[in-house]
Structure 1
Amino acid sequence: MKTKIAFVFFTLLAFSCNSKQEENKTNTVNNSKKEIVNDTTSTTKTADAVHYQTSVFDDPKFADRIKGDKEKLKKLSEEQLFSEMSSKSTAKLNEKQQLFFNTNSNYELLCFAKGNLFQESNNDYVFIVYDKENIKTKILLYNDKTSQYAELFKDIKVENRLENADCGSYSFGTLDYQFAIEHLIMNEDALKITPQYYLEDVPVKITDISKDDNFVLKEGCFAKNASRKNLANTLCISTSPVYSNWECLQYNKTNNTFFIFYSQAFAD
């Protein structure tokens, strides 16, 4: 009798252990599935995340590469070339904008454009300046509705949608850096001849590129899925003082960002 009772007890114990092991296996499999699902979600979010540009001037990994360029910019400024350009450009501004540059003497104004950049007022501005303190060119934006100034790339983010387009050309660096290289450093001799007139052919504009003679849309390159209908209030920056080379951005009101959607090279 004792033998039978012992047998039954051990049988029940073994069944209980097996059931517990199966439960643990099931939980492990379910948890693994959950982890896989979570990993997949995380990957999807990463893949869909928008990549915003960091100005080459502010990116530590390019510090050594652009060190010589910054030294050249500093030299041009110390030779008073930028100040001559700044005096003439500032004189063309209204009283409010003149006050801004007169009270921010660290900025030397190289060129500017006016228009409905933020889609709320025709009195918005884009300024390209040399920042003496930080030794770099900056693209400053003025929103007339909010009366605020902002630095492109730093205060207002920029997405380059041309990265996934086959535009057939490549230039190193963000637009603020490209401007410094193409219009200032590489054309130092022309700049020195008549600095006050050097940027008379304005290398920055707020325009409708479908109606502007500087743009040959059939020769240019659009980002994938970019609209080709509503092209008004487009911010365009010249990337060459010789050829009709431009990169153009549009403002996204939903998230207060800009995106580069059009470029053209050698489209004369």
Structure 2
Amino acid sequence: MGSLRNVGVVGLFGYTILFFTFIYLPIVLIVAYSFNSDPINMMNWSGFTFDWYRQIFGLKNTVSENALYIESTEQLLNALRNSLTVAAFTTTIATVLGTATALGLYRFNFLGKKFYRVLLFAPMLMPDIVLGIALLIFFVGADVSLGLKTIIIGQCSFLISYVFIVVSARLAGMDRSLENASADLGADEWTTFRRIILPQAMPGVIGGALLAFIISMDDLVITYFISGVDTQTLPIFIFGMLRRGIKPEINAIATLMLLFSFAVASLGLYFRSRRG
């Protein structure tokens, strides 16, 4: 019995190692090869360099003057500006509407409440390509020109669900006796919301906003359908580069996006610790 248990422990440990290796090894390779000086074959390590990061920001490339794969640094920066603009608007709108929806379902009972809650899960469960095609048909049918505004509207259609779920989970653990005590002490509904409900729900609101921001920055499939021909976000720009081959700058851009995601996640953990 003891030997079988030891075999099971060893097998579980080995499976865990293989699982995390499968998940994180590709990410480690992307980061490592972003510093590879070989401009042709990224799998052939030729030395350490920061040139691909310099090239992203329009600085001189010292590895090879002929290895200029980014057609225009201005296009890259414009795609980044578009992504940040879309993420800022969608995060604000989705956070406000998602939080309001969560509070409404938390405070009130009405006919069809469970069905309405199920509908809020639908955009998350629906395949991205189906939602992207549906939004494209809607915008074309409504004669709305594709661009930043359609990307913002399209992303809000599913990011509201993510914020709703995060805030709802936070509201489910709240103590409603504090609201009753506030009412007994003479506070009106606005004061109770501002002094009791919102401070308790704020960790969920911040968490939902950060999640919406990261998803908006990384979204490709849905944005690809509703962006039009003249508007590019950063994921679409990277996808366009990949269609012409895997290039060293792609690894550098992916590494910077990874660092940005870690920074946003760290910010969320910081606010959570401060809240605690």
Under a length normalisation based on structure 1, what TM-score does the superposition of the two structures give? 0.21
Normalized per residue, which structure has more strand?
A: 1
Normalized per residue, which structure has more helix?
A: 2
Structure exhibiting the larger radius of gyration computed from Cα positions: 1
